[in-house]
Amino acid sequence: MAAELLAAWSDADYVVDPRRIPFANREHVDFLTDAVARLGPLDGRRVLEVGAGGGSLAVWLAQQGAEVVGIDVSPGILDVARRRAALNGVADRVRFVRAPIEGFDPRAAGLAVEEFDAIIGNNVVHHFDRALALRSIGELLAPGGVAVFCEPVLFLPEWTRRARNSRLVTRRFPLHTHSPDERSLDGHDLDVMRRWFGRVEWTPYQVLCRLQNFVELSDGAWHRLESVDRALLRRLPAARHVCRLAVITLADPRIAEPLNADSLNGDEA
């Protein structure tokens, strides 16, 4: 895929407009805008993007004055990211490294930075080894730093997950996954996060917008549903538990302990 992009794209396809966050599609606008705002002022800050992909967001962050490191496990897509950084004139402010977040060591990767003021990721946590990744994130955060992730969530009872994954439903509405163990985050995952961070907050998005999973919505219908969702979540707090996506903020990492069964399960010792 990456080789095809490099061969087919012209220089214009790599351009990132510094005036607007590069959204993959309309579904990302609300929650990614919120996530970026939670990073705080970007000028001069050290930012790590986890799951950098083709580098659009990392390049945009660098255009805002941040010193950026983007990591991803796909070597091919990082070639796209490096070309994008070069063509947008920020190759001196953004580095791309092939590495998973679990156990990521910036020094071992040849970077001059050991910790970051902010960490961001979009649709990546549900691929992680939770405990190993959360420990790494905590170790990589500078004092006062914050990590922000946009993630699919499912807080409904387990029977709803089984129903969604059943052959009867998936035959008509296939699951969009990229790895065998991929799944939406749930309450247990938030408990694991609380094991590793003193501050764990999440903001819900997309309740009625779940219809997008089942029918194709026009732009007008999508924006109307988003407006209804905002009002619904503001006036009916219980609706947050049927949301489709959440922006999760992690801060105040706890002192790292040796990983054991309790750490992996999120149980207090």
Closest CA to 111 of 139, 70, 60: 70
pLDDT tens track for 83-131: 999 999 999 999 999 999 999 999 999 998 999 999 999 999 888 888 8
**Is 37:16 a contact under the CB 8 Å cutoff?**
no
Mean pLDDT of 212-217: 78
Query: Exposure of 152 by Cβ count < 10 A (0-12 exposed, 13-18 middle, 19+ buried)?
Result: middle
pLDDT in tens, 125-155: 888 888 899 999 999 999 999 999 999 998 8
User: Is 107 within a domain?
Assistant: yes
Task: Give me the pLDDT at residue 180, please.
Answer: 45
Q: Which of 129-133, 166-170, 246-250 has the lowest mean pLDDT?
A: 166-170
Q: What is the pTM of this model?
A: 0.86
DSSP state of 244: S
Residue 252 lies in a domain: yes
| pLDDT digits 0-9 by tens, 17-40 | 999 999 988 888 999 999 999 999
d(CA 151, CA 225): 19
Asked, for residue 211, whether it belongs to a domain, the answer is: no
% the chain with pLDDT above 90:
61
Assigned domain for 134 exists: yes
Domain of 176: which CATH number?
3.40.50.150
Query: Which residue(s) pair with 48 in the sheet?
Result: 69, 119
* Residue 199 vs residue 267, higher pLDDT: 199
Q: Which pair of structure tokens corresponds to residue 62?
A: 């660098």
Residues 6+ apart with CB under 8 A from 101: 50, 71, 121, 124, 128, 133, 136, 137
225 occurs within a structural domain: no
Higher pLDDT pick, 158 / 225: 225
Domain that holds residue 141: 2-206+243-265
Can you read off the two tokens belonging to residue 122? Answer: 């979009």
For 116, what's the count of Cα atoms within 13 Å in the CB-facing half-sphere?
29
Count of domains forming the chain = 1
Instruction: Give the pLDDT band of residue 64 (cuts 50, 70, 90).
Output: very high
Residue 267's pLDDT is 44
| Residues paired with residue 152 on neighbouring β-strands, in sequence order | 245
DSSP states of 14-71 as a string?
G---TTS---SSGGGHHHHHHHHHHT---TT-EEEEES-TTSHHHHHHHHTT-EEEEE
Quick check: is 220 in a domain? no
- 36 within some domain: yes
Which pLDDT band, with edges at 50, 70 and 90, does 269 fall under? very low
Round to whole Å and give the CA distance between 202 and 153.
Answer: 10
Give how far the C-alpha of residue 3 lies from the chain's centroid of Cα atoms, to the nearest Å: 24
pLDDT exceeds 60 at position 178: no
In a domain? residue 151: yes
